[in-house]
Amino acid sequence: MSEVKPFRPNLPTEIGSFQPQLRGAWRDDLKIWWREIDKVLLGLVAALMVIGTAAVAAASPATADRLSTSEVQLDEFKFLKAHLAWQFLGLAAMFGASLLTRDNARRLGIVLAAGMLALLFLVPLIGVEINGARRWIRLGMQFQPSEFLKPGFAILLAWILTWRLRDPNLPVVAFVSIIMGIIGILMMMQPNLGGTILFGGVWFVLILLSGVPLKRLGVFIGLAAAALTATYFLYDNARNRIDSFLSGGTAFDHVDLAERTLLAGGWTGSGLWLGMRKMNLPEAHTDYIFSVIGEEFGLLGCALVILLYLAVILRVLLRLIDEENLFILLAGAGLMTQIGGQAMINILVNLQLFPSKGMTLPLVSYGGSSTIAVCLTIGLLLAITRRNPFLDRETPGIWELARNQEEKKR
């Protein structure tokens, strides 16, 4: 009788046979992503990042010269090189987040908000202090938890506000207001008034869209006004900046220097690396990058940047206006408010129309964790606004539902 040999599969061959299938599945996922992604919004974001690269290239020599000493002479393109590296990491985060499904984007936002809120509690205890503010934490790398909290905050609040669809009696507005209050207190302990105002703006937009009664809305506005008034009297840095803003400032104020730099280029600018006023401008590569754009690329260049931000906001609104999912509507509006609000504050500061807040221009300014966080925000926005162009809607969008409700009331 012949010996029965045990079955031994050719493992390398069998495992290797799956590789073409995996590659094919990956290519199919990319095709689906490209078909569903908002390519117009992606193009607008890419345009802002290209302008940001040119702006940081213009500002890098000024910042390197200001930070150089007699012992250490910094490379004039040090910050441009670092900016390109951070942009690469930011693009990777944006691409990875945009590949997520809507449900996974929601889960990531909630986990991100919970994790960063926990780290925000630790900032006053183990945070790193820079320029009199304790906003950074060092866990392998140094970053601001508040920057990564921004995208998670909008998604978390949107998720909580949709609980009302399952149980109309849930006090969801109270829940999100408590979360906002906790974050506001933790932010002011750093202190970070600009970030607190930005979080407050996102919170206000979301509760407004969720249908809060006018009486309760008036109470919230009154509480916010009282909080700002208390901040003026209790927060010395905020009081000094507001007083300087109201009094017109001096020739040595950062905001005044920024305005002079912005207007120095006229309509068409002095040309790349030909600006001179930027050399005296503090934080030329971050907070006051818009002024550097004004000097080297002119007021027309500044107008282009503003138009691109307005186009981003308009594009997101057009994408959401026919959305049938309440969570997507609220989360998209919150993420859009975060990006648009931060850009508006930065630009108004450079135009001397708002007190200095130490806030970067999203997608344009140099930044480490802030660049990655903003790109992650855009990636989540792209993920939740993904839509199959070949799928017909079976239900009306939020805008049509609201219009039908108004017609019924009449």
Residue 1 has pLDDT above 50, yes or no: no
Give the model's pLDDT for residue 5.
Answer: 54
The pTM of the full predicted model, rounded to 2 decimals, is: 0.84
Give the model's pLDDT for residue 248.
Answer: 58
Give the model's pLDDT for residue 259.
Answer: 77
Q: What does the pLDDT look like over 193-232, one tens digit per residue? A: 888 889 999 999 998 888 777 677 777 778 777 777 777 7
Instruction: Quote the CA–CA distance of 264 and 270 in Å, as a whole number.
Output: 8
Mean pLDDT of all residues in 99-108 = 92
Residue 129 has pLDDT above 50, yes or no: yes
pLDDT band at 9 (very low <50, low <70, confident <90, very high): low
Give the model's pLDDT for residue 165.
Answer: 82
Q: What does the pLDDT look like over 232-250, one tens digit per residue? A: 776 666 676 666 666 655 5
Give the model's pLDDT for residue 228.
Answer: 74
- For 23, the token pair is 């590659």
Residue 142 backbone phi and psi in degrees, to 5? -90, 130
pLDDT band at 363 (very low <50, low <70, confident <90, very high): very high
**End-to-end Cα spacing for the chain:** 94
Give the model's pLDDT for residue 97.
Answer: 94
Give the model's pLDDT for residue 404.
Answer: 55
Give the model's pLDDT for residue 161.
Answer: 93
Residue 273 has pLDDT above 90, yes or no: no
All residues at 6 or more sequence positions from 109 whose CB lies less than 8 Å from its CB, including other chains:
151, 152, 154, 155, 156, 159, 331, 380
Place of tokens 């109270």: 174
Taking alpha carbons only, the member of 113, 152, 145 closest to residue 126 is 145
Q: What does the pLDDT look like over 42-95, one tens digit per residue? A: 999 999 999 999 999 988 888 888 887 777 788 888 899 999 999 999 999 999
> 16-30, 59-73, 96-110, 205-219: lowest mean pLDDT where?
16-30
Give the model's pLDDT for residue 275.
Answer: 79
Give the model's pLDDT for residue 394.
Answer: 45
Give the model's pLDDT for residue 56.
Answer: 92
Mean pLDDT of all residues in 356-381 = 88
pLDDT band at 23 (very low <50, low <70, confident <90, very high): low
pLDDT band at 180 (very low <50, low <70, confident <90, very high): very high
Mean pLDDT of all residues in 177-189 = 89
Q: What's CA 362's distance to the chain center, in Å?
A: 6
> 83-87, 255-259, 350-354: lowest mean pLDDT where?
255-259
Mean pLDDT of all residues in 10-25 = 55
Instruction: Quote the CA–CA distance of 175 and 256 in Å, as a whole number.
Output: 41
Residue 156 has pLDDT above 70, yes or no: yes
Instruction: Quote the CA–CA distance of 292 and 63 in Å, as a whole number.
Output: 11
Q: For the chain, what is the mean pLDDT? A: 82
Residue 265 has pLDDT above 70, yes or no: yes
Give the model's pLDDT for residue 42.
Answer: 93
pLDDT band at 406 (very low <50, low <70, confident <90, very high): low
All residues at 6 or more sequence positions from 158 whose CB lies less than 8 Å from its CB, including other chains:
206, 327, 330, 331, 334
Strand order in the sheet with 128-130: 128-130, 133-139, 141-143
Residue 317 has pLDDT above 80, yes or no: yes
Give the model's pLDDT for residue 374.
Answer: 94
